[in-house]
């Protein structure tokens, strides 16, 4: 994979989207930045990361023959690949908080922002942005955040971790065409945070309710068993898992 390393950039995701527009990429490309001046998170949020201490990188992956309707498979692929890479580093108690936050216990250590590149209604590629907290120790005001070093006490080499994660991502993407959807879903769901446990959620109106996470649907919705024994599928904007 072509790897570009820079000291500072606005956002590695934005960089790759622009590069695709200019060069029509057809091979995987990664850009990793020591610092982002405008790192972007899910749903229009900002991704804040202490410069030089963490990994902030994006990978462009060409996509062949995956329908837009099946795009959640990409999310599942990336999240499970990262879990596998972090397991290799012996990071404890890993879980995926739907749809694709990576946690250790209840602490978020990694965020993923996947952006589709669509042309004439078909998916040509994806830009996968990954922010992994590695050696940062102070997360003032972010009680739910942690880092690898905070969890294990080990100081990590950022390049080494990047290499391990890129290898896993490539491996899992190679399998995307050959692995069956049920196998991928089974692996993803095996890491799902609070699966089969009664949990508290907040709905779009701000009201709390209790439910049990059952599974994910092919469109990437979260299927929750509600108190009246009825299953309901929620999308990201409709629900927030509190605990
Ligand atoms: C989230 O909100 O959890 C997703 C965060 C994704 C952050 C990464 S850092 C590298 C890449 N570039 C960006 O601007 N965002 C992603």
Q: Where are the domains of the chain?
A: 2-190, 198-241
Query: Which atom from ligand 1 is nearest to the alpha carbon of 33?
Result: 10
> Domain spanning 2-190 has what CATH number?
3.30.930.10
**Is residue 162 lining ligand 1, measured as CB closer than 6 Å?**
no
Sheet holding 101-104, edge to edge: 2-9, 29-36, 55-62, 122-132, 107-119, 101-104, 94-97
Q: Whose CA is nearest to atom 15 of ligand 1?
A: 40
Q: Whose CA is nearest to atom 2 of ligand 1?
A: 41
Residue pair 22/12 in contact (Cβ under 8 Å)? The answer is: no
Cis peptide before 171 (omega within 30 of 0): no
Q: What is the CA(227)–ligand 1 centre distance, in A?
A: 35
Residue pair 69/42 in contact (Cβ under 8 Å)? The answer is: no
Instruction: Tell me: ipTM over 0.85.
Output: yes
Find, among 20, 58, 16, 56, the residue nearest to 36 by Cα.
Answer: 56
Strand segments (E) across 38-139: 55-62, 94-97, 101-104, 107-119, 122-132
CATH class of domain segment(s) 198-241: mainly beta
- pLDDT of amino acid 64: 87
Residue pair 243/199 in contact (Cβ under 8 Å)? The answer is: yes
* Dihedrals phi, psi of 96, to nearest 5 degrees: -105, 120
Q: What is the CA(56)–ligand 1 centre distance, in A?
A: 7
d(CA 14, CA 46): 13
**Is residue 40 lining ligand 1, measured as CB closer than 6 Å?**
yes
**Is residue 47 lining ligand 1, measured as CB closer than 6 Å?**
yes
Q: Which tokens hold the place of 241?
A: 């898992």
Q: How far apart are the first and last CA of the chain?
A: 39
Query: Which atom from ligand 1 is nearest to the alpha carbon of 49?
Result: 9
pLDDT tens digits, residue range 29-68? 999 999 999 999 998 999 999 999 999 999 999 998 899 9
- Percentage of the residues of the chain whose pLDDT score is greater than 90: 90
Residue pair 153/74 in contact (Cβ under 8 Å)? The answer is: no
Q: pLDDT 10s per residue in the chain (243 long)?
A: 999 999 999 999 999 999 999 998 999 999 999 999 999 999 899 999 999 999 999 999 999 889 999 999 999 999 999 999 999 999 999 999 999 999 999 999 999 999 999 998 899 999 999 999 999 999 998 989 999 999 999 999 999 999 999 999 999 999 888 888 999 999 999 999 999 999 999 999 999 999 999 999 999 999 999 999 999 999 998 999 987
Where are the alpha helices (H) located in the chain, listed in sequence order? 12-23, 72-88, 148-152, 158-176, 181-190
Question: Which of 4, 110, 129, 161 is the pocket-test mutation for ligand 1 (most atoms within 8 Å of CB)?
Answer: 129
């Amino acid at each position: 994979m072509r790897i570009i390393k820079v000291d500072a950039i606005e956002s590695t995701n934005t960089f790759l989207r622009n590069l695709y527009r200019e060069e029509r990429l057809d091979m995987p490309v990664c850009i990793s930045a020591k610092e982002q001046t405008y790192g972007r998170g899910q749903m229009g949020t900002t991704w804040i990361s202490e410069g030089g201490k963490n990994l902030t990188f994006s990978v462009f992956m060409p996509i062949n023959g995956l329908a837009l309707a099946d795009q959640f498979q990409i999310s599942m692929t990336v999240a499970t690949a990262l879990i596998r890479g972090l397991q290799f580093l012996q990071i404890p108690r890993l879980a995926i908080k739907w749809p694709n936050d990576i946690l250790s216990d209840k602490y978020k250590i990694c965020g993923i922002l996947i952006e589709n590149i669509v042309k004439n209604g078909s998916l040509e590629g994806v830009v996968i942005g990954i922010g992994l907290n590695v050696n940062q120790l102070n997360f003032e005001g972010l009680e739910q955040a942690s880092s690898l070093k905070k969890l294990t006490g080990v100081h990590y080499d950022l390049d080494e971790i990047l290499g391990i994660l890129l290898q896993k991502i490539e491996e899992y993407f190679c399998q995307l065409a050959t692995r069956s959807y049920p196998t991928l879903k089974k692996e993803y769901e095996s890491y799902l945070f609070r699966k089969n446990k009664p949990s508290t959620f907040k709905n779009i109106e701000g009201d709390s309710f209790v439910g049990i996470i059952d599974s994910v649907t092919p469109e990437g919705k979260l299927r929750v068993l509600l108190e009246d024994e009825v299953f309901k599928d929620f999308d990201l904007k409709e629900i927030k898992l509190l605990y």
